[in-house]
Structure 1
Amino acid sequence: MKNSFLHKLLTGASAILLSASAFASTGGGGSTPGPSDPCTNCTRGPNPTVSSLEANSGPYNVSTRNVSSFVSGFGGGTIHYPTNTSGQMGAIAVIPGYVSYESSIEWWGPRLASHGFVVITIDTNSIYDQPDSRANQISAALDYVIDQSNSSSSPISGMVDSERLGAIGWSMGGGGSLKLATDRDLNAIIPQAPYYSGSNDFDDILTPTLILACENDAVAAVGLHASPFYNDVPNSTPKAFLEINNGDHFCANSGESDEDILGKYGIAWMKRFIDFDYRYDQFLCGPNHESDYNISEYRENCNY
């Protein structure tokens, strides 16, 4: 009788622990931040094609609003938002790297916004800020966009779904995006040529992570940064690794020839994991990515 009671007690406790573990793994109140629950009405836009994703702009017109450098938490920037669509959209913050400015990553703003996101590209408080500080500034920029969406006087009033957030960072900003994924619920991150020299716990990341690397990076060497970071992210977390053939540390920056190929994968990643749009799996999974001369290496852990 006692053994039977003990068995039932232990079985019930195990079930509770398993349930709690599953809840935490989806970002639902656990100690490790993760993505929001999937939504069924977030998809928008026409059926994607390679040419539509590699084009300079998507199906939506884009307007901008400048953000003062006196704003609290980051160094100001620009909000990019679509004007000929309705409903709430995911928000994405994009941050530059060490001794660099918003202009180095600003191309992401109109590119992503034209596919149905509200995007803020930012300057940092200081061009010398380290990755952990940049993580905090990405978070502050996302909070700013959410606050603007909650303001009736803002041009993006009511446009942002505060549960569907993403981040992109270059160099130390890429390290910051990885760090933020350990501290805040995010649906997707794209660290590009990421640099992070401190101790990290990236092996706990639940946020879907696309790492963009530059093959000949002499600043954040792929073998010391991008590749180990990709390996650190658990295989249970959706992830991908794209390395630009012959690219240097600046291969993902504004004005570079790689914008089209990075735009294709970056848009597909954000649409898949912020909008839960499965139409974009075809561009992220499957063989033959390296048949494109621009890609020297591609890894993924599909199916997502």
Structure 2
Amino acid sequence: MLTIKALSVVCTSTLLLVLGVNEIASASSFNSTPVFNNVANYTTTISGDNNLADIYYPNPTDLKKSNYSFPVALLLQGGLVDKSNYSNYARQVARYGFVVVVPNSKRPDPTYGDEALLPQTTQIDTALQQIIVENENASSPIVGKLDTEKVGLLGHSLGSIVGLSAIGNLCLVTQTPTCPGSFSRPKQIVAGAFFGGNLRDKNDVYPPINNDGIPVALLQGDRDGRALPFRASLTYNKIKNPPAALINIKGANHFSITNTNNPAGAIPDPINATLNQDVAIETIARWSGLFLRASILNDKDAFNYVYFAGDAADPNVTVESKRVPESSSTVAPLGILFAYFTITQLRKRINESKRHFKSNA
């Protein structure tokens, strides 16, 4: 499959002839930086299941005075990984304009004990009920600041399985049970971005994911020794409707999303990451945050970054597959995007040449 990156190289000469300076300048103005600088957090109890949840929210100086309405991003933890291990990632996603809710899900398991940290589909409903409570509670730091009708799912590992099942309206029998009883997708769920996960049943069958047009992104480390990259590809191929993206992060392993590699209590990844942990977290959070902005807030620049310009600009990311609606009004003119890719590639090559020259000087 011919990628956008490859096409940008092929079209270089033609683009520089047909595109004006103003168009090229416009194309190079894609901004991937967070919207908010400051983030605060607090911990609450989810009354529906009595689990604790950490809540991270943008905290501008005018939070109380202005009429903010932040969508919610519900982060479903990896198996046996405590919510505290996602604090760095959650903070950075919150900076893109979301209230990030990170609950623990403790439940009995015959292998891991009576209070095993294992996400399940039922916690989605209890978490959604709790955000309504937080939005109406006068003592809550985010009272009146939530858009409770727009919820994006985030997930890691087993949490990705739960999130993908929810979006696909599925209740699968998987290797680790995640769906007790039945499940019906809440109407508030409007997008999902999942790292280090795939969806298959206990017989290793990959079911169709009938996402009904809900945008889905799979973020995958190419050094993941737990959720193997080829499984993400097979899962991506089962997503029925665009928009969808398969985002590869070079040098990332299964725990590149958590504060530290192989956090205590988790089943470790046998393969070490080569991408610095802080860089990996920022990368995964940036792509997650921009994907949610594109999907939930109809942010045109975020949409163009995720589906067109971002992988050319980010040396650690390749968007291997991308599907967008053909009639999408948010897509930037193709010629401008090609020009952007061309300029970015030239800059990369110049910088690489400079580094090579310095190393051999």
Q: TM-score normalised by the shorter chain: which range applies? A: 0.7 to 0.9
CA contact (8 A) 1:91 1:142 kept: no
CA contact (8 A) 2:58 2:98 kept: yes
3-state SS of 1:271 partner: helix
Residue in structure 2 matching 1:174, options 154, 160, 163:
160
Q: CA deviation at 1:233?
A: 0.7
CA contact (8 A) 2:311 2:318 kept: no
List aligned pairs for 1:230-269, cutoff 5 A.
230-234=236-240, 236-255=241-260, 256=277, 257-269=279-291
Distance 1:151 1:201 in 2: 40
Distance 1:102 1:228 in 2: 28
Distance 1:139 1:74 in 2: 13
Distance 1:74 1:135 in 2: 15
Q: Map Cα deviations across residues 244-295 of structure 1 (whole Å, 9 max, x no partner).
A: 2232211222352312222221111111112122221221122672674422
Distance 1:112 1:295 in 2: 17
Q: Map Cα deviations across residues 157-203 of structure 1 (whole Å, 9 max, x no partner).
A: 11111211011110000111111212223111111101444266542
1:217 aligns to what?
Answer: 224
Asked if 1:156 is matched to 2:142, the reply is yes
* Matched length: 248
3-state SS of 2:129 partner: helix
Asked if 1:87 is matched to 2:87, the reply is no
2:190 aligns to what?
Answer: 187
- Structure 1: tracts of 5 or more residues without a match: 1-46
Distance 1:209 1:274 in 2: 12
CA contact (8 A) 1:62 1:113 kept: yes
Asked if 1:277 is matched to 2:268, the reply is no
CA contact (8 A) 2:82 2:104 kept: yes
Q: Map Cα deviations across residues 8-39 of structure 1 (whole Å, 9 max, x no partner).
A: xxxxxxxxxxxxxxxxxxxxxxxxxxxxxxxx
Poorly superposed stretches of 4+, deviation over 6 Å: none
Instruction: Give the alignment's TM-score, normalised by structure 2.
Output: 0.62
2:53 aligns to what?
Answer: 77
- Structure 2: tracts of 5 or more residues without a match: 1-28, 108-114, 170-184, 261-276, 329-361
Distance 2:98 2:41 in 1: 12
2:333 aligns to what?
Answer: none
Distance 1:139 1:116 in 2: 22
Q: Map Cα deviations across residues 113-164 of structure 1 (whole Å, 9 max, x no partner).
A: 222211111222147465xx52221332232112210223322111111211
CA contact (8 A) 1:217 1:247 kept: yes
1:295 aligns to what?
Answer: 317
Asked if 1:146 is matched to 2:132, the reply is yes
**Residues 218/138 of structure 1: CA separation in 2 closer, same or farther (3 Å cut):** same
Distance 1:292 1:115 in 2: 18
2:337 aligns to what?
Answer: none
Q: CA deviation at 1:59?
A: 2.1
Q: Map Cα deviations across residues 190-246 of structure 1 (whole Å, 9 max, x no partner).
A: 11101444266542113211111121222111223x112211111x32111111223
> What is the root-mean-square deviation in Å for CA atoms of aligned residues?
2.5
Q: CA deviation at 1:297?
A: 5.0
Distance 1:238 1:74 in 2: 35
Give the greater-gyration-radius structure (CA): 2
CA contact (8 A) 1:179 1:202 kept: no
CA contact (8 A) 1:65 1:79 kept: yes
1:228 aligns to what?
Answer: 234
Q: Map Cα deviations across residues 63-96 of structure 1 (whole Å, 9 max, x no partner).
A: 212123x743263121112232432110111121
CA contact (8 A) 2:47 2:126 kept: no
For residue 253 of structure 1, what is the amino acid of its counterpart? T
